[in-house]
Amino acid sequence: MVSVLGGLALWEAVVRLSGVSSLILPAPSKIVGAFGELAESGDLWLDLNTSLRQFGAGFAIAGALGVVFGLVMGQARYVRYASEPWVLALYATPSIGLAPLFIIWLGFGFPAKAFIVALMAFFPVVINTLSGVESLAREWTDVATSFKAGPVERFRKVAFPGALPAIFTGLRLAVGRGLVGIVVADFFGAQQGLGFLILQGAQRFRTTDVFVGTILLAALGVILTALLRLVERRTCPWRLDVS
**Which pLDDT belongs to residue 32?**
87
Taking 90 as the threshold, does the pLDDT of residue 140 lie above it?
no
The overall average pLDDT reported for the chain is 82
Total-model pTM: 0.84
Q: How many angstroms separate the CA atoms of 164 and 131, rounded?
A: 11
| pLDDT value of residue 155 | 67
pLDDT of 35 over the 80 cut: yes
Q: Is the pLDDT of residue 150 over 90?
A: no
Residue 146 confidence class, pLDDT cut points 50, 70, 90: low
What is the structure's pLDDT at 107?
75
Sequence-ordered list of residues with C-beta below 8 angstroms from that of 7, at least 6 positions apart, any chain: none
Measured CA to CA, the distance from residue 38 to residue 216 in angstroms comes to 12
Say whether pLDDT at 170 is over 60: yes
- Residue 53's pLDDT band (boundaries 50, 70, 90)? very high
Q: Please state, in angstroms and as integers, the Cα–Cα distance from residue 8 to each residue in 25, 29, 198, 216, following that order.
A: 13, 9, 21, 16
What's the mean pLDDT in 209-229? Answer: 92
The domains found in the chain, sorted by start residue, are 29-235 (1.10.3720.10)
